[in-house]
């Protein structure tokens, strides 16, 4: 699968975060979809079936942890990558993100290079899951 086919849904209620995500990922060949609250993120995820989501924890409607728990409970999203972005504090993020099933997390504020690194880390994980799933389907 090429990066041009790799869809990332970014959900955050802060326009500045959307601009940062877009700046960090622009020119890298990803198809970037935006949502501005949790309910919109769920709707777009159900319609677009992104390969990865970048979720803010604290946003109107469903929060990032609720969305993560939902996605991890559904077989159709088992390969999807989940990156949590939040300003709640590193120690709390370290404890809670893995509990809900996130693949990685990044604390706000963040550097663009750190975001790119986390995205690439999760993309690699998703590609590995997709390859494993294809091998299982062929067997």
pLDDT digit string (tens) for 53-110?
Answer: 999 999 999 999 999 999 999 999 999 999 998 876 555 555 555 567 899 989 888 9
Angle at CA of residue 86, ends 77 and 34, nearest 5°: 55
Question: What is the phi/psi pair of residue 106, to 5°?
Answer: -145, 130
Round to whole Å and give the CA distance between 28 and 69: 29
Residue 87's pLDDT is: 76
Round to whole Å and give the CA distance between 130 and 63: 26
Angle at CA of residue 95, ends 80 and 44, nearest 5°: 30
71 token code pair:
């996605």
Residue 3's pLDDT is: 42
Digit-coded pLDDT (tens) for 107-128 = 888 999 999 999 999 999 999 9
Could you give the 3-state DSSP secondary structure of residue 104? strand
pTM of the model: 0.90
Query: Tokens 């809670």, residue?
Result: 96
């Amino acid at each position: 699968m090429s990066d041009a086919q790799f869809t990332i849904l970014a959900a955050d209620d802060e326009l500045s975060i959307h601009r940062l995500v877009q700046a960090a990922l622009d020119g890298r060949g990803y198809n970037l979809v935006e949502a501005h609250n949790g309910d919109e993120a769920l709707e777009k995820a159900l319609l677009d079936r992104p390969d990865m989501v970048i979720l803010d924890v604290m946003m109107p409607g469903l929060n990032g942890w609720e969305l993560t728990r939902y996605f991890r409970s559904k077989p159709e999203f088992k390969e999807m990558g989940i990156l949590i972005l939040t300003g709640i504090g590193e120690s709390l993020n370290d404890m809670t993100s893995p509990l809900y099933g996130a693949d990685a997390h990044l604390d706000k504020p963040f550097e663009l290079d750190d975001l790119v690194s986390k995205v690439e880390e999760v993309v690699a994980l998703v590609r590995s899951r997709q390859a494993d799933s294809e091998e299982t389907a062929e067997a």
